[in-house]
Structure 1
Amino acid sequence: MKYCFFLLLFLVTEIMVAQGGTLDATFNGNGRVLATFNVFDSAVHSMLLQPDGKIIAGGTVSNHGLFSQFGLARFFSDGTPDPTFGTGGLVIGNFSTAQISLSSALLQSSGKIVTGGIVYNDYLDSQFVLTRFNNDGSFDNSFGTAGLVLRNFLNIKSIIAQPDEKILVAGFSIATPDRDFVLLRFNPNGSVDNSFGTNGVVTTSIGAKDFAHDITLQADGKIVLAGAVKNSDGEYHSDFAIVRYFGDGNLDTSFGTNGIKIINIDEMDEAQSVKVQSDGKIVFSGWSSSISGQTTSFQVIRLFPNGDIDTAFGESGVFSSPIIFNSHEQLIQIQSDAKILVVGAVATTSAYDVAIIRLLPNGSPDTTFGTNGVVVTTDGPETSSQANCVLIQPDGKILIGGESGEGLMSYHPHFVIQRYDSGSGR
């Protein structure tokens, strides 16, 4: 009987450990931390993890349209604010009087934080901006020119650092009605890397309108961009577009067709997030919709390193989400055990809730996670939340950053980070 008891206890413990997707109560006491910056609106759009376990959240803070600036917050690993960073753990930029929105951020080995985003004068007079903050949250005037790197007519969507700490910037041009994939590279100090492309810039025209939304690096240094391309079927018709470059910015013609992979599923297709597995396969998430918008689906698709669709993944290479995300944005991350996280938000009757799907490496739902592979977190009937970024800690715990605020009729969201237990990964 004693043996049976211990066997039963062991089995129960295994089940409890293996079930992932619950909020981590060791994080700020309830798995959730909120930062208001004493403004009307704020939202996390990028998260970074320092080697000491501290968490940096970067996003946009605004005050009823009177100003909009980069905002940074730093927390200890338990979710409490780090008072050594900025004022009480918070930093608000003050480098422009225009409307500024943060898209992405990266952490340099020195501990300095590079932030990238858009300065909005008007739609056709927008600039992308890179800035850098010191480890204590102070503005770093030694970066670029007086602390800034500015380029006209570009919409920046994502920035990442190469192993040599050179900075890659991905987005699309907006100087004319046409749009093109744009890839830029800067040295770690913000100066242009003239060894890359033409004067540090690579422009790729695929169709009449091309939109790059995310960037990732392969282990061999090749660069992958994901987005959409307008096709010839009509004004609003588009296809998934994945493009791969060599480290010098030249198209990798061994991928897809001359370096470009186009995939059509519905009348409108757009890739939003891309990652590379340890075996070199490329995984991206995106949405597909009819022009009328009456049919919308959300997919995860996996490609072989040469760009061919991996038909062993999901259903003939495609996983179709069982839930309908509330917006056309989903983010993916790949765990160390090759399981894939898909993060977004779903609509309720009066608000939005954060949603996570976890897939097994073969593209099927991981039933050890949440309910049939799905976790939906409700902050309450009067609260609306959105997921804008996801990060996996070395211990496997899942960080989701975004925004949370009152219900839809008076929506003034604030910085929010939620941390989840991932389970055993078995």
Structure 2
Amino acid sequence: MVLPLALLMVTFARASDGDLDPSFGIAGVAYAGIADASSYSGMSMQPDGKVLACGTHATGNDHDFLVVRFLADGSPDTAFGTNGRVSIAFDHSPYSGYDQCSSLAVQPDGKIVAAGSTKWNIGPAIIGLFAVARLTVDGTLDPSFGEGGTATAVGTQALISVAEAGSVALQTDGRIVVGGQLMATEGGPLYRFALARFTANGMLDPSFNGTGWTEISAISFPQSDAMAAAVALDAQARIVIAGSNPHDAESNANSDFAVARVLPNGALDASFGQAGRTLVAFDAGGSGSGSDIAYGLAIDHAGRTVVVGMADTSSTTTPNYDVAVARLLDDGSPDAAFGDAGKVRVAFDSVPAGMDFARAVVVQADGKLVLAGAAQGASSRVPLLARLADDGSLDPDFGDGGRKILHIGTDPEIGTINRAALAGDRLFVSGVEKTAASAFDYFVARVSITLEDPIFADGFE
């Protein structure tokens, strides 16, 4: 009788996770120090505890990559670039360019890979390419990478109108995988999943599909568009890419989660789903025709694919979105041990017909899933967190019954978490937050969490 009582007391006394860590930055939050942040941003952790964030910022008539580095306490790292900030331009002179960094990764040698998109106008036409840059540890462009530290892809002028990269992943052999979407003019315009792989020196890798890039078109998915948002590598170096696929070819509405897996040589993996791709339909609305949109992706410790985003639960023409999570087994089929036939929805429902979504997911060492994104408030959007147990149920030890709203901005708050990462018993999240009447800045926040002993996480508690 003594041991169960002791365990009960420990559980009762443990503080709820999800609170901002006041020892980081100012009250748990650090800012990049700009006023014109865009909606998308990236983040990565260094092994020494420093935190990197990226986005875009205005430089005259152009917008360039912005990369910011914070020390472990949240203060700017003055040894990086200029006062902790680096600007990277992809030159399209004489045209004005818009360069957006949306993902970061740190190589084992400490060099920093920043990935996103570069766009420019030629007359009425918009041209866009995947854009990758590599920085040395002090923030200077690495001359051994690409052309002076930068590289671009995808496709050919005949095929591509606009390409947008949303995510980057590093292979153990030093090659760099960038995933996103392209809008093809061929038979379109249609969006398609796109992947590019670069060698360690920044050249397109011809061992990947013969060209260094591949696209997964409407032929691979049942309907017109396939819009990608995230990419990850599994233990076998297979590339998983996730996004959304509308099943209304005319309006591009009423979409499902779309996931594809590609072999290291660039070919679709026939052992996954149907010929390398699968769709996940939540169909949570009463009419069964709502839009399900995926934004984030992770591979868990068991090799399962976890995809997060939002699902429309409304039975009317007015949408009402909940956070949505799907977990797939190695063959692409739904994991029946997770939620309802492999699917979970988390409703914050601060307002009727609101939009609650997750843009990132991380897997704790104990197998629990932390979701990060935004919830619709009474007059604005606020950053959200949620934590799920291995079976998909909300974790009562996190926040308020498994849910947490982070209050970090001005009143009224407007903010979104785009990325999340774990470092021991600290959770780092980054995104965009309103800081003044018309100013938006990139932020990094540190959140306290408790990791269970994996023995107890396996069900022996």
The answer to whether the Cα contact below 8 Å between 2:310 and 2:356 also exists between their aligned partners in 1 is no
From the superposition, tell whether residues 221 and 424 of structure 1 become closer, same or farther in structure 2 (CA, over 3 Å). closer
Residue in 2 aligned with 1:166? 175
**Corresponding residue SS for 2:184:** coil
Which residue is 1:345 aligned to? 374
**1:225 corresponding residue in structure 2:** 241
Letter in 1 for 2:51: I
Matches within 5 A, 1:383-422: 383-393=413-423, 395-406=424-435, 410-422=437-449
C-alpha spacing 1:128/1:327, structure 2 compared with 1 (3 Å): farther
Question: What is the rounded CA distance, in whole Å, between the counterparts of 1:287 and 1:424 in structure 2?
Answer: 27
Identity over the aligned pairs, expressed in percent?
29
Instruction: Decide whether the 8 Å contact of 1:335 with 1:396 is kept in 2.
Output: no
Cα RMSD, aligned residues only: 2.6
> In the TM superposition, what are the counterparts of 1:122-137 in structure 2 within 5 Å?
122=121, 124-137=126-139
Q: Give the conservation status (yes or no) of the 8 Å contact 2:116–2:165.
A: yes
Instruction: Give the partner amino acid of 1:264.
Output: A
| Cα separation, 1, equivalents of 2:263 and 2:388 | 30
Q: Quote how far apart the aligned CAs of 1:164 are.
A: 1.1
Specify the SS of the correspondent of 2:278. Answer: strand
Query: Does the CA contact (< 8 Å) of 1:185 and 1:196 recur in 2?
Result: yes
Deviation at 1:93, TM superposition (A): 2.2
- Separation in 2, partners of 1:74, 1:297: 33
- Give 3-state SS (helix, strand or coil) of 1:164's partner: coil
Q: Deviations over 1:240-267 (max 9, x none)?
A: 2111122212211111111111222333
Query: Which residue in 1 is equivalent to 2:405?
Result: 376
Match of 2:391 among 332, 348, 362: 362
**In the aligned structure 1, how far is the partner of 2:146 from the partner of 2:23?**
40
> Is there any run of 5+ residues in structure 1 with no aligned partner, and where?
none
CA contact (8 A) 1:43 1:60 kept: no
* Structure 1 partner of 2:198: 186
Equivalent residue number for residue 20 of structure 1:
17
- Counterpart-to-counterpart distance in 2, 1:106 and 1:262: 28
Change (3 A) 1:199 1:128: same
1:197 match: 209
Cα deviations across residues 194-236 of structure 1 (Å, max 9, x unaligned)?
A: 1111211122222321112111111122211111223256522
Matched, 1:47 2:47: no
AA in 1 matched with 2:347: P
Whether the aligned pair in 2 keeps the contact of 1:19 and 1:424 (CA below 8 Å) is no
In the alignment, does 2:27 pair up with 1:30?
yes
Amino acid at match of 1:130: V
Does 2:230 match 1:214?
yes
Between the two proteins, the alignment pairs up a number of residues equal to 416
Contact (CA 8 Å) 2:37, 2:55: kept in 1 or not? no
Per-residue CA deviation, residues 71-95 of structure 1 (Å, 9 max, x unaligned), is 1111111112211111221222244
> In the TM superposition, what whole-angstrom CA distance separates every residue of 1:80-111 from its partner, at most 9, and x where no partner exists?
22111112212222443411111212111221
Q: Which amino acid aligns with 1:213?
A: A
Structure 1 partner of 2:458: none
Distance 2:22 2:255 in 1: 43
Is the CA contact 1:48–1:105 (under 8 Å) kept in the aligned structure 2?
yes
TM-score under structure 2 normalisation? 0.83
| Residue 77 (structure 1) aligned with residue 61 (structure 2) | no
Q: Which amino acid aligns with 1:71?
A: L
Superposition pairs of residues 142-291 of structure 1, within 5 angstroms:
142-151=144-153, 153-176=162-185, 177-205=189-217, 206=221, 207-231=223-247, 234-236=250-252, 237-266=254-283, 267=289, 268-289=291-312
Give, in angstroms, the shift of residue 354 of structure 1: 1.1
2:52 to 48, 51, 56: 56
The 1:99–1:299 alpha-carbon spacing in structure 2 relative to 1, beyond 3 Å, is same
Change (3 A) 1:232 1:18: same
Cα 1:34/1:16, change in 2 over 3 Å: farther
Q: What's the offset of the Cα at 1:175? A: 3.1
The CA deviation at 1:43 is: 6.8
Structure 1, residues 19-61: CA drift from partner, whole Å, max 9, x if none?
2111112212521112214x54367722111121111112222
Partner Cα distance (2:226, 2:18) in 1: 36
Instruction: Give the gaps of 5 or more residues in structure 2.
Output: 155-161, 284-288, 454-461
Partner amino acid for 1:189? N
15 and 47 in structure 1: CA distance in 2 versus 1, 3 angstrom threshold: farther
How far apart are the structure 2 equivalents of 1:70 and 1:231? 34
SS at match of 1:179: strand
Q: Distance in 2 between matches of 1:208 and 1:43?
A: 26
**Structure 1 residues 16 and 240, CA gap change in structure 2 (3 angstroms):** same
Tell whether the 8 Å contact from 1:43 to 1:414 is kept in structure 2 after alignment.
Answer: no
Q: How does 1:320-339 map to 2 (within 5 A)?
A: 320-324=345-349, 326=355, 330-339=359-368
Q: CA contact under 8 A between 2:141 and 2:148: conserved in structure 1?
A: no
Deviation at 1:12, TM superposition (A): 6.3
Contact 2:324–2:357 (CA<8 Å) still a contact in 1? no
What is the CA distance between 1:298 and its match in structure 2?
2.7
- The aligned residue for residue 110 of structure 1 is 109
In the alignment, which residue of structure 2 is the partner of 1:318? Answer: 343
TM-aligned CA distance change 1:312 to 1:10, over 3 Å: closer
